[in-house]
Amino acid sequence: MSVAELFHVPAKFELKDADASRKLIGSSTGQKSEDKQADKLQTTALAEQISGLQEVFAANHDHKLLVILQGMDTSGKDGTVKSVFGQLHPLGARTVAFKAPSQAEKDRDFLWRVHKEVPGKGEIVIFNRSHYEDVLISKVHGWIDDTECERRYVHIRDFERMLVETGTIVLKFFLHISNAEQKQRLEERLADPDKHWKFDMQDLAERVHWEAYQRAYERALTATDTREAPWYVVPSDSKTQRNLVIASIVDERLASLNLKYPPGNLEYSKLIVE
């Protein structure tokens, strides 16, 4: 069974705290710090492998890869970008973080700013947050009603299907942490002066809506998990497991393309002057 199949969101599912620390792959010696060390080594190896696959991916100049990271505050989206995609060649890879929309963005459909940033041929783009915020935060805060939310699911499905049919691979990861883990991570930020800059009062305000967010995620993931653009639910209470799972799925998907370096045109190679 592929790692992708192991973590593919089920047709019907509930987000349970317990599942945030579920361990399905990687070392299982039972020794926690040894487990982590093994996970890290495997992830580093995979990240290097992905970087190698990127070169042939770019050389082919054909497919496009879009990775979408979603998750509650502190779930580790930034950390994932660094650990899993940090080895990519910057010329062929970009990370785009979507924050609160600008006035020009608010004045247009919610897919506008997202479509602008999709990868070109041979490129890998990582979305740190995405158009899914528009069916999550907007839903939880009651800025849109259920009818509008359902309509946006359709817009998202149509949009992602179009991307896939025009040559984009779309991988969507939900970084699933438990309520207790988030509490601990927020406390860690407060305890460490070097992490104070990461602390945002807004995170506490959003934490109050924890349950509403879990329900909104369940509904959004179910409504937008498609054959073309699947959702993966990644247990993320352990950072090393989270990285290992995501790296494995990305590696699997890129490797499955079976890309070879294109032959190139060496007709004029003899013109190289000695």
Residues 6+ apart with CB under 8 A from 81: 69, 95, 126, 128
Question: Should residue 104 be labelled a site residue for its own copies when binding is judged by CB under 8 A?
Answer: yes
Of 18-26, 152-160, 176-184, 232-240, the window that binds its own copies (rule: CB under 8 A) is 152-160
Distance CA 103, CA 100 (A): 10
Please identify which residue in 1, 11, 107, 268 interacts with its own copies, judged by CB under 8 A.
Answer: 107
Distance CA 162, CA 167 (A): 9
Q: Which amino acid is at 216?
A: A
**Overall residue count recorded for the chain in this entry:** 274
Closest CB to its own copies among 8 and 161?
Answer: 161
- Looking up tokens 């927020």 gives 186
Distance CA 270, CA 267 (A): 7
Binding-site size for its own copies (CB under 8 A) equals 27
Could you say which DSSP state residue 25 is in?
S
Distance CA 170, CA 117 (A): 13
Token duo for residue 13: 């599912």
Positions 42 through 101 that interact with its own copies (CB under 8 A): 61, 64
Q: How far is the CB of 140 from its own copies (least distance, A)?
A: 20
Question: Should residue 223 be labelled a site residue for its own copies when binding is judged by CB under 8 A?
Answer: no
64-71: strand order across its sheet: 93-97, 124-128, 64-71, 168-176, 231-235
Of 1-9, 114-122, 181-189, 192-200, the window that binds its own copies (rule: CB under 8 A) is 114-122
Question: Should residue 141 be labelled a site residue for its own copies when binding is judged by CB under 8 A?
Answer: no
Please identify which residue in 40, 60, 94, 112 interacts with its own copies, judged by CB under 8 A.
Answer: 112
Closest CB to its own copies among 117 and 218?
Answer: 117
Question: Should residue 110 be labelled a site residue for its own copies when binding is judged by CB under 8 A?
Answer: yes
Question: Should residue 116 be labelled a site residue for its own copies when binding is judged by CB under 8 A?
Answer: yes
Q: From residue 154 to residue 183, what is the string marking binding to its own copies with x (rule CB under 8 A)?
A: -x--xx--xx-xxxx---------------
Burial class, 262, CB count within 10 angstroms (exposed 0-12 / middle 13-18 / buried 19+): exposed
* Cβ contact 203:186 at 8 Å: yes
Question: Should residue 195 be labelled a site residue for its own copies when binding is judged by CB under 8 A?
Answer: no
Q: How far is the CB of 124 from its own copies (least distance, A)?
A: 13
Q: What CA–CA distances, in Å, run from 82 to 43, 88, 95, 257?
A: 12, 10, 10, 24
Q: How far is the CB of 101 from its own copies (least distance, A)?
A: 12
What three-state secondary structure class fits 233? strand
Question: Should residue 227 be labelled a site residue for its own copies when binding is judged by CB under 8 A?
Answer: no
Q: How far is the CB of 166 from its own copies (least distance, A)?
A: 4
Closest CB to its own copies among 66 and 247?
Answer: 66
Q: How far is the CB of 148 from its own copies (least distance, A)?
A: 9
* Cβ contact 67:253 at 8 Å: no
Binding residues for its own copies, rule: CB under 8 A, are: 61, 64, 104, 107-112, 115-116, 118-123, 151, 155, 158-159, 162-163, 165-168
